Amino acid sequence: MDPEKAKRHVEFVSGHTGGTALELMGLLLIIYYAFFIRLECERLFFRKLSRITTLIIDFFLILLQTVLPCTLLSNYLLEYHFLLFFIAVIFMLKAPKHPPSIPIQDGYIAFRRIIRVVVLLYTTICIYGVDLPVFPRRYAKTEVSGVSLMDVGVGMIVVAIGLSNAAFLDVAQTKSRSKIVSTLMKASLPCLLLGMIRTVTVKALGYPDHETEYGQHWNFFFTLAFIRCGGILATYTFSGMRDFDSMTIHFALCVALASIQQFLLLPMADHIFPHITQPELSPRPSPTGSFDLWWLVQANAEGIVSLPGYLSLYFYATALGIAVRLHLEPPKGNGRSEEKLKFLCRQGNEEWYVN
């Protein structure tokens, strides 16, 4: 790629400080308006749709409603919210007072599927939109501080993986150590291989690389490989416990890793890796030998320093997944009913605690 074009491209996607947390929460709520309106439209107006008709309706009522506030209507987010809210209220008034209730089978699986749809939709919008001027720069990935839609996107991917990990707890306690190692390899090696292929391809083609995002060689695939390794090992360690105890430990790990990330690693990074927080004052270091391990760490400091934070999100999502499963899955004859009562009592009245 032409060096001048590559430089302009990197400058276009770099140096951003993000937007406000309130704006991002409003942006992420829009897709749930879209889901509700889509379901109500089908229930009130459409019956026995063909596959093509379903795709067309999904395009206009879900995809388009989600893309517009991320691009053309990004400056009218509040007005867009009022419009969708008004439409949703109309549908609620039109709905019958006693609609036929259809019980949801496998509620936890349905919950995970909805989360995956939200993650994939926003991730796709961000990946394709960030290189275009129509995509607001406050939604692009931030550098040193701030929060943006793309920052939330990578976190949502980790959360979606962590939610799926909750279902692995039941399987892990029946597997041998060799089976766990095999599962670990299958989960992490593809991400590791994809990360290596991406790094080699980008460097070989001279494609503009946003080095201040993860470092010179690191990318999100390496982060996912590390998360899968840490998550599976932790799951195997706590797989013999009851759901409530496992959820508590995963949440404690989340708090511990987040504290390490915020109060230990970030202050240390100011002194050990000054090029992260002050790139204009401290340039990225150069290698001093044929194989300089410390230089390799410094060159990819952004990705390495962020690992405890991502793993904290993963453990939080696992704890959340266990809590949701305790509420959505029907009691089974293996102590799950006692676990559900125990969890509900801890939420409500401490005197009702069940050992």
* Tens of pLDDT, residues 119-177: 999 999 998 888 888 999 899 888 777 888 988 888 899 999 888 887 777 777 777 77
CA distance 82 to 86: 6
Q: Contact 244/272 with Cβ under 8 angstroms? A: no
Tell me the pLDDT tens digit for each residue of 68-108.
999 999 999 999 999 999 998 998 887 766 555 555 566 67
- Chain position carrying tokens 């209220």: 89
CA distance 332 to 75: 50
Q: Which of 136-150, 255-269, 336-350 has the lowest mean pLDDT?
A: 336-350
Q: Taking the CA atoms of 132, 134, 135 and 138 in sequence, report the sign of the dihedral they define.
A: positive
- The pLDDT assigned to 245 comes to 84
pLDDT score of 281 more than 70: no
- The pLDDT assigned to 235 comes to 82
pLDDT score of 285 more than 80: no
- Chain position carrying tokens 């275009």: 132
- The pLDDT assigned to 125 comes to 92
